Structure 1
Amino acid sequence: MEITTQPTDLTEQINSWKEEVNEVREEVKLMRERLEQIALSSAPREVMQKVEHFENRLLRQREVADETFHDLKQCAKKISAQAQTVTHDDRPVCDYETMSNRMEIFQKLFVELKEDFNHFMVSEL
């Protein structure tokens, strides 16, 4: 089944995802600052091991956010270079479906990380 989609609709969705990725970047920055405070304290060794564990997870989350943001920018460029309407077979151009799936996974993994982090912060403070 063919569907016609306006590039502006696709661009709006991509811009929304870019905003979400930027929000995740900011949250990761705040989480790292909180970990830094614990790392500077004289916490027990097992707490410091957990701090290191979360530092690594947050570092990886930031890397994934940066990669995702870059790919979203590239996807937006491809869409803006297209004609006024885009005809597709249930799959918008520029691997939009792939980006949508990646964003779902990105969101799910960040929610899990945030829950784990908040549980750690509550249990250690």
Structure 2
Amino acid sequence: MEITTQPAEQQQMNAWKEEVNDVRNEVKMMRERLEQIVLSTAPREIMSKVEHFENRFLRQREVADEMYHDIKQCSKKLSDQPQVVHDDRPVDDYQTIQHRMEIFQKLFIELKDDFNHFITCDV
């Protein structure tokens, strides 16, 4: 019996897809926490910050969706499977996806830290 393993790049792509899904779930939980604040009797200055975070969460979700799609496409490109070419956004090579993922991770950590600071200090 032959055991096949995925190349390291494919394993990394699968890990990134899981991480992007985790980010989606965390953003969903943070939005739910934001909804609780909206339903409370928070002061007006808090509500402007709520709107700010709502916009950031929306954008984070959009970027997560784009990252997931592009990681999937790049993974297909590496695996010799037939590809569908999309004109709206080219599927990048592994190094480009890796760089974009690093930026994605950094920006999400900043968002999460900002939101946690908002929750603990302002609300």
Q: TM-score, normalised by structure 1?
A: 0.83
Structure 2 unpaired stretches of 5+: 82-91
CA–CA distance in 1 between the matches of 2:63 and 2:42? Answer: 29
Aligned counterpart for 1:105 among listed residues 70, 92, 103: 103
1:62 maps to 61
Give CA deviations for 1:20-51 in whole Å, capped at 9, x if unaligned.
10000000000000000001111111000000
CA–CA distance in 1 between the matches of 2:119 and 2:80? Answer: 46
Partner AA of 1:111 in structure 2: I
CA–CA distance in 2 between the matches of 1:21 and 1:103? Answer: 9
2:16 maps to 17
Where do 4+ consecutive residues of structure 1 move more than 4 Å? Answer: none
Partner AA of 1:16 in structure 2: A
1:95 maps to 93
1:87 maps to none
Structure 1 unpaired stretches of 5+: 1-5, 83-93
Which secondary structure does the structure 2 equivalent of 1:43 belong to?
coil
Partner AA of 1:46 in structure 2: E
Alignment: residue pair count: 109
Identity of paired residues, percent? Answer: 68
Q: Is residue 5 of structure 2 the alignment partner of residue 29 of structure 1?
A: no
1:74 maps to 73
> Superposition RMSD on alpha carbons, in Å?
1.5
CA–CA distance in 2 between the matches of 1:61 and 1:31? Answer: 11
CA–CA distance in 2 between the matches of 1:42 and 1:121? Answer: 15
- Between Structure 1 and Structure 2, the one with more strand by share is 1
2:44 maps to 45
CA–CA distance in 2 between the matches of 1:11 and 1:102? Answer: 16
CA positional deviation for 1:7: 6.1
Which structure has the higher relative contact order (CA within 8 Å, separation 6+)?
1
